[in-house]
Amino acid sequence: MITITVKFLGGLRQEMGMASTTLLLPEGATVADLEPRLVALGLDLDEQKNIAVLNQRGLNQWPPDRRLVSDEVVMVFPHIAGG
Amino acid sequence: MFSGGYSGRLLRINLTTRQYSIETIPEEKLHLFLGARGLGAEWYSREVAPEVKPFDPENKLAFFTGPMTGTPLVSTTKFELTTKGPETGHYLCSNSSGNFGPRMREAGFDGLILEGCSESWTAVVIENDVVNFVDDDGWQGFTPMAARARLLEQLPNHLTKWATMSIGAAAENRVAFAAIFVDDGRAFGRGGGGAVLASKKVKALAVWGDKPVPVADAVKCKEIAANARTDLKTSRAKHRLLGTSQLVESINELGCMPTCNFQTTWELPEKVQGIYAQTLHDQYYVRNYACYRCIVACGQMGEVKEGPFAGAKARPEYESIGLLGPSCGINDMAAVIAANERCDELGMDTMTAGNLVAMVMELFERGLVTAQDNDGLEVRFGDGQALLKMLTYIAQRRGLGSVVADGALGIIQAHPEWESYILHSKGMTFAAYDPRGFHGMGLAYATSARGACHNVGGYTVSEELMGKKYDRYAVVGKGQLVKTLQDNRAYIDSLGLCTVVRGAYKFSTSPTSETMLAITGYDFAPELMMIGERISNLERLILVHEGIGRQDDALPSRMKDAVPTGPAAGHFISNEMLDVMLDEYYTVRGWDAQGKPQAETLQKLGLKEISTAL
């Protein structure tokens, strides 16, 4: 199995009730497999609301068929512009 | 053409003669430049000559509202200041929230011009079509809030009806980044508009009126407002809950956080959590703060209840936290709140103040200055008490503050050897994003019409993370991105609407017709992006006329150094990389290789006549 850490930043930590969680995905799982698992956690991935980042790049900037590797990190945080 | 959205009236006040007049703004100009920032740029191009210096009596200040300002829709609070600013010595546009813009509309004005200089310290009081002056030499040194209170005490029904602008001691001492405060907490923060107002001996203004703000279709406006409220309750819920401060965590985790004067772009999360939004909320939160007709109420009022900064109160936004916090090596929210409060009391921009104190801290760390150079005060990274004292020194022009008060350009003139420690473009210091983490921000800072600014320049971070065609560390493609963001922002800044809520009205790069039709009776939507482009080009024309060219679309030398730690480690922006971005940007803008708008571009945008007149 592949272990992916999901970190919730900013207001999402309070909304999710935790700072992070772990997803277990089968060997060979790809970036395309990740999004439904994040949504299943209760995350709204509408880009106007939240931004999901895998290894420092936007989730949808990766090729969908790119294979995930254990211990990779996803960060999700609210879409907020500077003030 | 318009059945609402504008009164078409402009109030011009001569502070020297104390005469005032009411002028008509031609409908064609409203159509071409929309309002607020657009009208301000058009006005500036005619009335503020290139040779005029910021504190010359010939400099003027204009405040323009947009067609949405003060209408019954949600968050219609914004209005724009245009002047020649002391921080850059060039064209300055700056917007603010608060009630003053809406009250201007209720007094029947879309624009207010201040020209000349008062002989004695005064306040300008506008009540519908009547202007009065309240002379008062006793309020020099007052904080902006104290000046506001002192003026309101002298006005009828002072608790309910007046909106105000006011300045503090920093402005009186001509600090190049002194702000103009609006009502009890919002501000024209950047660029030094407060010092220009002080040069005219205006300590405060008040406005009130009882005219309805004209809209074309009041029933439709009511329906749009109801829909926007529904949308914002969910779409901006986290904005309301924690405000912009929740960017601290993500920007640090992305390796973009200014840390110790941009020497690096990341700090250990266990340290930075001292200034997280959650820390502000759990330990210091008092209440939310809302601007005019805003249900988001994103302002987070914080109060320090114990410890060395006990009693301090402020509403720190992300930029203030980043630049008074990590950039000064400080990860203590109590110190940040106290420093934010001190800036508010002195009447200074928190962003430039934070940047320049961080520079002083680096000078101390490198042994380039000592306490002897600074009237006995040592200022080192992480020292919150020293930060507060240094802010006061700047406003008082004491110690190194006597040089720092003149802003980046003044410091460089006095101490060219310190230039590499000042993070700025065209004299305006950086916002709280290090472009080495998102290269588009570098182009945004370099080309912004008012110097390094994340708003006017374009906030690329979201697109560089979400756009499929973008790589945050690539330079190709950033020219088109920055142009689009700048033009989008230019029209939004001209509407009189807070950018936080723009999604609720579909004011994207492909705006829908509904809202502007309801307000003005005219279908602006197909033209809005071109209006934004027209404004961007007019601002560039102005800058070119003031001597700005490619050589000024630059980044400080520190950007060429590789980031030493954190997620962006190893990344940098060389001159060659910036050149690639500039070449692409100039091409998509229709400018020549020196950054001057070409004749066909001006023709396309209807700017040929203005260009000829300049």
Q: Are residues B413 and B448 in the same domain?
A: no
B540 touches chain A (CB under 8 A): no
**Inter-chain touch A11–B500, beta carbons under 8 Å:** no
Provide φ and ψ at B3, rounded to 5°. -105, 10
CA B221 – CA B216 distance, rounded (Å): 9
CB contacts, 8 Å: B235 with chain A: 48-49
Q: Are residues B251 and B389 in the same domain?
A: yes
Q: How far is CA B173 from CA B70, B199, B396, B406, B414, in A?
A: 33, 9, 7, 10, 18
Q: Give residue A49's pLDDT.
A: 85
Q: Give residue B438's pLDDT.
A: 98
Query: Closest residue of B to A51, CA-based?
Result: B466
**Inter-chain touch A83–B467, beta carbons under 8 Å:** no
Beta strand B61-65 pairing with B19-24: unpaired
Band (pLDDT 50/70/90 cuts) for residue A83 is low
The interface predicted TM-score (ipTM) is 0.95
CA distance B414 to chain A (A): 32
CB contacts, 8 Å: A56 with chain B: 254-255, 472, 567
Query: Closest residue of B to A54, CA-based?
Result: B465
Q: Which two tokens stand for residue B501?
A: 């809520």
Structural domain contains residue A83: no
**Inter-chain touch A82–B455, beta carbons under 8 Å:** yes
Structural domain contains residue B216: no
Residue A25 CB-half CA count within 13 A = 24
* Interval B173-187 mean pLDDT: 96
CB contacts, 8 Å: B434 with chain A: none
Structural domain contains residue B244: yes
Band (pLDDT 50/70/90 cuts) for residue B159 is low
Q: Which two tokens stand for residue B455?
A: 């708003």
Structural domain contains residue B503: no
User: How many domains are contained in chain A?
Assistant: 1
Q: Give residue B491's pLDDT.
A: 98
Residue B143 CB-half CA count within 13 A = 13
Structural domain contains residue A59: yes
Band (pLDDT 50/70/90 cuts) for residue B613 is confident
**Domain containing residue B262:** 236-422
Q: Are residues B402 and B484 in the same domain?
A: no
Domain boundary among B157, B191, B208: B208
Question: Is residue B359 a contact partner of residue B380, using CB atoms and an 8 Å limit?
Answer: no
B432 touches chain A (CB under 8 A): yes
Nearby residues of B94 by Cβ (< 8 Å), 6 or more positions away: B80, B81, B82, B85, B188, B189, B190, B191, B193, B450
**Inter-chain touch B246–A57, beta carbons under 8 Å:** no
CATH number at residue A38: 3.10.20.30
Give the pLDDT confidence of B345-371 residue by residue, as tens digits: 999 999 999 999 999 999 999 999 999
Q: Are residues B250 and B323 in the same domain?
A: yes
**Domain containing residue A70:** 2-78
**Inter-chain touch B455–A53, beta carbons under 8 Å:** no
pLDDT greater than 60 at residue A13? yes
B472 touches chain A (CB under 8 A): yes
Q: Are residues B137 and B284 in the same domain?
A: no
Q: Are residues B283 and B346 in the same domain?
A: yes
Helix (H) or strand (E) segment spanning residue B579: helix B575-589
3-state SS, residue B315: coil
Question: Is residue A59 a contact partner of residue A35, using CB atoms and an 8 Å limit?
Answer: yes
**Inter-chain touch A9–B471, beta carbons under 8 Å:** no
Give the pLDDT confidence of B565-609 residue by residue, as tens digits: 999 999 999 999 999 999 999 999 999 999 999 999 999 999 999
pLDDT greater than 60 at residue B429? yes
Q: Are residues B194 and B311 in the same domain?
A: no
Please, which residues 268-297 of chain B have a Cβ atom closer than 8 Å to chain A? 277-278
Structural domain contains residue A49: yes
Q: Are residues B334 and B383 in the same domain?
A: yes
**Inter-chain touch A61–B247, beta carbons under 8 Å:** no
Measured CB to CB, residues of chain A less than 8 Å from chain B are 7, 9-15, 47-49, 51, 53, 56-58, 60-61, 75, 77-83
pLDDT greater than 90 at residue B249? yes
**Inter-chain touch A56–B255, beta carbons under 8 Å:** yes
pLDDT greater than 90 at residue B563? yes
Structural domain contains residue A42: yes
